[in-house]
């Protein structure tokens, strides 16, 4: 009877951990800080997530420019992906299914009939292992790793992924994501889901922030935000950020989605693997960042569905409290043969690079 009790207890604990992590996992969640000059970054091993980033404004005053929570435990119940590393496949997979090498795979659907950010327990909802941690020095860094097992959320094969956060140069942040399939071909597309507000996380909405996106086309989507496989020029539309525009200047033209939530096809620079993807500026604070990447796409999300989320210092976030610029492969690539492939194999690993250059230089 005693053995039966402990067997049933273990099953219960296992089930209770299938959504937000086990009791043991939650006890092992920690925050780690990296510091270099005026830049201070805090991250957690839950979801390999960014928790805060302190930057000076044009007057030298430090402010946190990342939306999030006071308690690290709050991230285990988060439904907005604040700061998270999302995967195994970021963004959406239509119908929560795909066929690869003749085998049909049915995934966990967590947004209607579709899969979003890896399923109901994607990489943003698991505990990552700390592989390396160097708090200070010329290049402070931390590297997290995670072993995703065959069949997790329906995806094939074992995959080992890592995410490194590195402070370098003057007020620069590198995010380096790597992945390797151990035994089967599988789709892999990681993204960083930070919500930025360069005015400060408690400064209100981001509608006055000025954005420039170096993408001449978008991937056209249906009413469920699943790509149709077609591309469209942004010129003359509400999606045109080829020249700097404030986010709020044309957002009312996007009533159906309540704002921006679209993938840009980034313009390639001939002979260069890394390209300038976007520039964001908050005129009031003077803070600016430039985002460089080797990824083909950039999801611009204007925080349309944030509603009454109690954040840091008790500040309540609502719609457009922050913006996401997620460099990535194109959504639903696994079902779109005309999109760049997201398939990795034991012979073909994954690498995703992001560089954020922060400053108070006036671009516009």
Convert the pLDDT of each residue in 288-313 to its tens digit. 999 999 999 999 999 999 999 999 99
CATH topology of domain 31-359: Beta-galactosidase; Chain A, domain 5 (2.70.98)
Give the model's pLDDT for residue 17.
35
Residue in 153, 209, 290, 326 annotated catalytic: 326
Distance CA 169, CA 171 (A): 6
Tokens 């996380």, residue located: 201
Binding-site annotation, residues for beta-D-galactose = 91-92, 193-195, 261
Residue in 117, 152, 153, 193 annotated catalytic: 193
Q: Are 64 and 203 in contact (CB under 8 A)?
A: no
Confidence check: pLDDT of 131 > 90: yes
Binding-site annotation, residues = 91-92, 193-195, 261
Active site residue 256: no
Q: Are 42 and 33 in contact (CB under 8 A)?
A: yes
**Contact partners, residue 3, CB within 8 Å, separation at least 6:** none
Residues constituting the chain: 364
Give the model's pLDDT for residue 273.
81
* Region of 112 on the Ramachandran plot (φ > 0 left; ψ -120 to 50 alpha; else beta): left
Tell me the pLDDT band of 13, cut-offs 50, 70 and 90: very low
Of 141, 88, 62, 80, residue with least CA distance to 350? 88
Share of the chain above pLDDT 70, in %: 92
Give the model's pLDDT for residue 364.
58
Q: Which has more pLDDT, 270 or 127?
A: 127
Active site residue 101: no
What value does the mean pLDDT of the chain take?
Answer: 92
- Note the pLDDT tens digit of each residue in 53-103: 999 999 999 999 999 999 998 999 999 999 999 999 999 999 999 999 999
Distance CA 195, CA 321 (A): 8
DSSP string, 22-36: -HHHHHT--EEEEEE
Structure tokens at 305: 């569905």
């Amino acid at each position: 009877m005693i053995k039966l009790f402990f067997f049933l207890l273990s099953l219960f604990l296992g089930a209770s951990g299938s959504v937000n992590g086990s009791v043991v996992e939650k006890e092992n969640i920690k925050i780690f800080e990296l510091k270099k000059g005026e830049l201070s970054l805090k991250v957690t091993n839950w979801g390999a997530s960014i928790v805060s980033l302190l930057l000076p404004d044009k007057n030298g005053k430090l402010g946190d420019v990342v939306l999030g929570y006071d308690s690290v435990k709050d991230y285990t119940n988060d439904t907005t992906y604040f700061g998270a590393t999302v995967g195994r496949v970021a963004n959406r997979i239509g119908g929560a299914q795909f066929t690869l090498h003749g085998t049909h795979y049915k995934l966990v659907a967590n947004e209607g009939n579709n899969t979003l950010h890896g399923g109901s327990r994607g990489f943003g909802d698991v505990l990552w292992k700390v592989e390396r941690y160097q708090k200070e020095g010329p290049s402070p860094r931390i590297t997290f790793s995670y072993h995703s097992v065959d069949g997790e959320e329906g995806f094939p094969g074992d995959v080992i992924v890592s995410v490194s956060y590195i402070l370098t140069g003057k007020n620069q942040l590198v995010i380096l994501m790597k992945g390797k399939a151990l035994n089967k071909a599988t789709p892999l597309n990681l993204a960083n889901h930070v919500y930025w507000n360069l005015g400060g996380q408690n400064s209100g909405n981001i509608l006055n922030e000025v954005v420039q996106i170096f993408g001449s086309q978008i991937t056209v989507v249906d009413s469920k935000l699943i790509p149709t496989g077609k591309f469209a020029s942004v010129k003359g539309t509400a999606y045109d950020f080829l020249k700097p525009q404030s986010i709020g200047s044309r957002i009312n033209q996007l009533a159906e989605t309540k704002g921006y939530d679209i993938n840009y096809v980034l313009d390639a620079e001939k002979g260069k693997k890394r390209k300038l993807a976007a520039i964001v500026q908050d005129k009031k604070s003077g803070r600016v960042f430039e985002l460089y990447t080797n990824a083909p796409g950039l999801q611009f999300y204007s925080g349309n569905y944030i509603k009454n989320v109690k954040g840091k210092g008790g500040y309540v976030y609502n719609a457009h409290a922050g913006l996401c610029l997620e460099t990535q492969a194109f959504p639903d690539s696994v079902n779109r043969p005309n999109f760049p492939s997201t398939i990795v194999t034991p012979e073909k690993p994954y690498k995703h690079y992001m560089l954020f250059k922060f400053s108070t230089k006036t671009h516009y």
